[in-house]
A and B are shown apart, each in its own frame.
Chain A
Amino acid sequence: MFDINANGRTIEAREGDTILQSLERAGIKVPTLCHMNGLAPSGACRICVVEVEGARGLIPSCSYPATKGMNIKTNSKRVIDARKTIIGLLLANHPDDCLYCVRNGNCELQKLAEEYGVRERRYPVKNSSVGLDITSPSIVRDPAKCILCGKCVRVCEEIQKVSAIDFVRRGSKMEVCTAFEQSLNVSSCINCGQCVTVCPTGALREKSYLQEVHDALHNPDLVVVAQHAPAVSVSVAEEFGFKSGADVNGVFTTALREIGFKHVFETSFSADLTIMEEASELVERIKNGGTLPMMTSCSPGWIKYMEQFYPEFLGNISSCKSPQQMLGALIKSYFAKQTDTAPEKIFSVSIMPCTAKKFEAARSEMTGKKGLPDIDAVLTTREIARLFKLCGVNMNALKPSEADTPFGRRSSSGKLFGASGGVMEAAIRTANFMLTGKDLTHPRIEFARGMDGIKEGKIKIGDLGLGFAIVNGIGNAPKILDQIKNGRKDIHFIEVMTCPGGCIAGGGQPLNNDQGRIKARMASLYSIDNNEQLRFSHRNPEILEIYEKFLGKPLGEKSHELLHTHYSKRNVLR
C-alpha cells in the first residue's frame, strides 16, 4: 500500500496496481473501451489517458503501473481534449446510423460521445466498405461498426480459447476477421456469443428472430408456444431496471401470455427430463462398462467445440438432446396429440440466455419426423426484453402466474441447470436415487457450486466411489480432456458449460455482464433451490406422468426416438 495523488486528492494504491485500478478503487471514473477485468491490459483504445506529472505525454492509465507519490490528473483540459479527439477519430469511420442500431441506447461509444459532448463531426467520414456477415445462425458481424478494441478477439482467444477470430492486416487496413476472411458459419466459431457480450458497439450482435416470432404471434393459423430456460427468469428483469438476480418467473410467464403466447412452458421441466435420461445413461454406462467419463450435452457451444477439436471424445458425450430440444420434440409430438393440434400448426419458440441455442435449433439432427424443426425460433434474453418493450409490457403491473401443463412443473434441480454445476448437482441427486433407491438427505452438493473454472469432487453412492468434474468457460475444457487422454481414470461424469459461470452468463444475456451481476443470478438460483419443496427431478409429478402416459421408461424406445441424438466430427478451419 502506498499513496498517490489524483486530482489533488490523496488515494491509496496497492502494489502491482495499474493507475486505472487505483483510480477505480477510489471511485474516480476513467472511461475505457478496451479494458477487460482479469486480463492483461492491451492499451488499444487510448480513451483512458491521464496526465502524470513529469511524464512527457499523456499516459494510458490501464497499462501504466501506479508508483508511490505520483501526481495524476484525470480531468485536466489536456486530458479531456485528448479524449474528445480520440472519440472524434473513432467516429470518423463509424457509421452514423445510431437511430437504427440494435445498440442504440446501450452503446459504449455512443455513451462516451454523449458524455464528452461530441456534438459535431470533426473529421470527414471515411466509411469502410466491408460488409455484414449474416452467415451464422447465431451471431451477426458488422465490421463497419468495429472500433478495433480487440475485446472479442481476446475473449475468444484468451478466455474461451477457440480463436475463431483475430486481427487481420495492419494500420488503417486492420480488421477483425476469421482465418482467411471466411464467413463465420464455416469458421471454428462455436456460437457462444461471449464476443457479443463484450462488444462496446453494434459490431457484434445476435442474429435476431424477433420479426419471425412477432409475425407468428399475429398469425391466427398458428398456435405459438414458448419455453423459457432456467437462467432467463433470474436475469431478464435487469433489462427493466430490477436488481441483478431478481427472479421474476411468475411475472415473466404472465408477460409471455400477455403478448400472445398461447402456452408457456418451462425448459426447467425438460431439464428434469434430461436428468432422468442422463442419470439413467450414466448408471447404465457405469454398470455395463460403457464409455466413461460421460460428458454432458446441454451446452451447444460445447458440442460444436467437441465436434471440431476433440472428435475422439464424441462417444463420451451423453446421447441426450439438450433440454431445449427435448421439450421442442415433446411439444410437437405429445403436446400436439394431447391438444389435438397438427404439429405443423405449432410455432415453437424458446427463450434462452444463449446465442448457440439458435445454432442448435437449426441443426439437421434437431428435426422431427415430417421434416419439421423441433424448435422454430430461438430468442435471447435480450430479444425477449425488446419484444416486451415493443408490446408495452410493464413487469411491475403484472401478477405472477403458473406455467401451463403438461410441461410447466419443475423441480429445483431443473432450475439449477442455469448455473455451472447445476446439471451435475441434479444428476447426482437422481443417480443416487437410481442406484440406491433412496433420496439424499442433504441434496446440496457443495463442490458443484461457485464460479471456479474447474470444480472436482468425489462422492460415494451405494458402494461405488464416483469422481465428478465440472468445467465452465470452455477455455478450461482442454485441461481436463488432456488429462483423460493421458490416462486419468478417476472421473466418471463431466459437466461442461461453454460460458464462464454457466448459462447465467450466456452470450444472450443482458449486456454489461460483470462478476457481481453474474454472482447475483447464481445466488438467486441457489436460493430457489434452498426454498423449494420439490428438489429432485425424479419426484416431479409431471415427469412421472409423462413417462407413464407417453414415454414408457428412461432410455426406452420413445425416448430414443424423441430425446436422444448423436453427433459426428465436423471439419472446419481450426
Chain B
Amino acid sequence: MKKQFDRGMGEVLGKYQDKSRENLIPILQDVQERFGYVPKDAITRIGEFLGLPSSKIYGVATFYNQFKFSPPGRYHIMVCRGTACHVKGSALILDALLRELRIGAGQTTRDGLFSIEVVACIGACGLAPVISVNGEFHAKLSAKDIPGIIESYREKARIEGGSK
C-alpha cells in the first residue's frame, strides 16, 4: 500500500517542475484523480513539496467542494440535488440514504461499500428525482425505494465477493 502511494505521489509531483503555490490546486486535482480522494499523507507530502504547512493545504482543499478526504466506497452514490430533483423531493431521498447508511454526505461507510456525494445536477431531469450508483441510474425514486436499492448492492457485493 505504502509503495503504491509513494509511486503515485512520485508520478503526480514529478509532473510539476515549478514548486510554486499556484500549483497547489492542480496538484490536489491530480492526486484526487489518481487515488479517488485526497489522502492525509498526500497533503503532508504536497506540503513538503511546495513548502506549505498542512493546515494551509487542508484549508484550501476544504474550501472547494470537489475534494474528498475519504476513499470512495465500492459503490459510489451520487445524489442529484438539482432544481428538478429538488422539486420532486430529492431532499427526502438524500435523507433516506444518510439514514440507511448512517454516514454523512462526502463520507464512506466503515465497511467501505458505500459513499455518498451530493451533486448539483446530473443532467437527467426527466428522471427526477434520480441517483446514480457507479454510473447506474435509479430514476423517479421515492424515499421508500432506498432500502431496497442499497440491499441490492449489498447482495451484489456478497455474490461477487472480494474487495474492490
Which A residues have a C-beta under 8 Å from some C-beta of B? 157, 162-170, 177-181, 187-188, 573-574
Contacts and interface: CB of A to CB of B under 8 A. Distances in A.
A469 to B, nearest CB: 23
Contacts of A180: 40, 43, 54, 58, 69
Contact of B62 (A168, A573, A574): A168
18 contacts: A164-B53, A164-B55, A165-B55, A166-B55, A166-B56, A167-B63, A168-B62, A169-B62, A169-B63, A179-B55, A179-B57, A179-B58, A180-B40, A180-B58, A180-B69, A181-B58, A574-B53, A574-B54
A163 B44 contact: no
A573 B59 contact: no
A574 B57 CA distance: 11
Interface string B56-75: 11110011000001000000
A455 to B, nearest CB: 27
A187 B47 CA distance: 15
Q: Name the interface size band of chain B.
A: 10 to 19
A143 to B, nearest CB: 15
Contact of A574 (B40, B44, B69): B44
A164 B55 CA distance: 6
A167 B59 contact: yes
Q: Is the interface of B mostly helix, strand, loop or mixed?
A: helix
A195 to B, nearest CB: 13
B47 A166 contact: no
B39 to A, nearest CB: 11
The 6 nearest A-B residue pairs measured at CB:
A163-B53, A179-B54, A166-B59, A179-B55, A166-B55, A179-B58
B58 A163 contact: no
Contacts of A178: 55
B59 A168 contact: yes
B55 A163 contact: yes
Given A179-B43, A180-B40, A573 B63 contact: no
A178 to B, nearest CB: 6
A316 B53 CA distance: 25
A373 B92 CA distance: 57
Given A163-B55, A166-B59, A169-B63, 10 more contacts: A157-B53, A157-B56, A163-B53, A164-B53, A164-B55, A177-B59, A179-B58, A188-B53, A574-B44, A574-B54
Contacts of B40: 180
A131 to B, nearest CB: 17
Given A179-B53, A188-B53, A166 B44 contact: no
A325 B98 CA distance: 53
B47 to A, nearest CB: 7
A187 to B, nearest CB: 8
A574 B44 CA distance: 7
A132 to B, nearest CB: 19
B63 A163 contact: no
A328 to B, nearest CB: 33
B58 A574 contact: no
A180 B67 CA distance: 13
A358 B54 CA distance: 25
A573 B42 CA distance: 12
Contacts of A179: 43, 53-55, 57-58
A188 B52 CA distance: 13
Contacts of B44: 573-574
Contacts of B57: 179
Contacts of B58: 166, 168, 177, 179-181
> Which residue, of B44, B55, B56, B57, has the highest number of chain A Cβ atoms within 10 A?
B55
Contacts of A169: 62-63
Given A166-B56, A179-B54, A574 B47 contact: yes
A188 B56 CA distance: 12
Contacts of B56: 157, 163, 166
